[in-house]
Amino acid sequence: MTFETTDIKDVLIVRPKTFPDSRGYFRELTRTNVLAENGITEAFVQTNNSFSTKGVIRGMHYQLKNAQSKLVCATYGEIYDVIIDIRKESPTFGKWIGVNLSAERGELLYVPKGFAHGFQVLSDFASVVYQCSDYFTPGDEYGINCFSKALGIDWKDIPNVISDKDKLLPDFSTVSSEYFL
């Protein structure tokens, strides 16, 4: 595995080694000791999977009391994965980055606690798996509108499908600081 830093401290792109042959390929996605040697020390306690069609945007979601670090990968298709730094004391508070993740290339995005997370499906279909360092807790759900003018996220230019719930999320500029980590 190789680990690539990003413009936001503590956020990493993990590139597992792929072993192709005539049958397909083998890829070791995670290995606790190698992750720990590269700063990813959380125990992941919950694994989620979503399947979506082209243009679907899921996000930008986070929890406060049970904040989660995530390790995200596309297991089918390709997505544009976006995270927003919501750590009040961070020098990159309010900054976002977007990374293309594809099943073919196999990269993973490590998202530490303190980030809102979402993605846009670029391929006809995509299956996304993300491991979480804490359990999802109903009632501890928060979010930021993915089209927040204050953030100006550069979503890919394809027709978008967004849930009614996500359409109602507030603009980043209107969220009270008590709703950030």
| Annotated catalytic residue, options 62, 80, 110, 130 | 130
Residue owning tokens 């009614």: 164
Nearest to 125 by CA among 74, 70, 61, 72: 74
State how far the alpha carbon of 110 is from the alpha carbons of 22, 49, 150, 159, in Å.
31, 16, 24, 27
Residue 177 has pLDDT above 90, yes or no: no
Residue 181's pLDDT band (cuts 50, 70, 90): confident
Which tokens go with 137? 């807790």
d(CA 125, CA 129): 14
Q: What is the pLDDT of residue 3?
A: 96
- β-strands 70-76, 108-111 pairing: antiparallel
State how far the alpha carbon of 170 is from the alpha carbons of 33, 43, 147, 154, 167, in Å.
39, 31, 10, 18, 9
Q: Is 61 designated active site?
A: yes
| b/e burial code for range 10-19 (CB count within 10 A of at least 16 → b) | bbbbbebeee
Residue 179 has pLDDT above 90, yes or no: no
pLDDT, tens only, 111-169: 999 999 999 999 999 999 999 999 999 999 999 999 999 999 999 999 999 999 999 99
State the DSSP code for 65. T
Q: Is 135 designated active site?
A: no
Q: What is the pLDDT of residue 104?
A: 94
Strand segments (E) across the chain: 2-5, 12-15, 18-21, 24-27, 46-53, 56-62, 70-76, 78-85, 96-102, 108-111, 115-121, 125-132, 142-143, 161-162
Domains of the chain, first to last: 2-179 (2.60.120.10)
| Annotated catalytic residue, options 25, 61, 62, 117 | 61
**Has this prediction a pTM greater than 0.75?**
yes
Average pLDDT rounded to a whole number, residues 105-109: 96
- Cβ proximity of 17 and 28 under 8 Å: yes
pLDDT, tens only, 18-61: 999 999 999 988 999 999 999 999 999 999 999 999 999 999 99
Which tokens go with 168? 């109602």
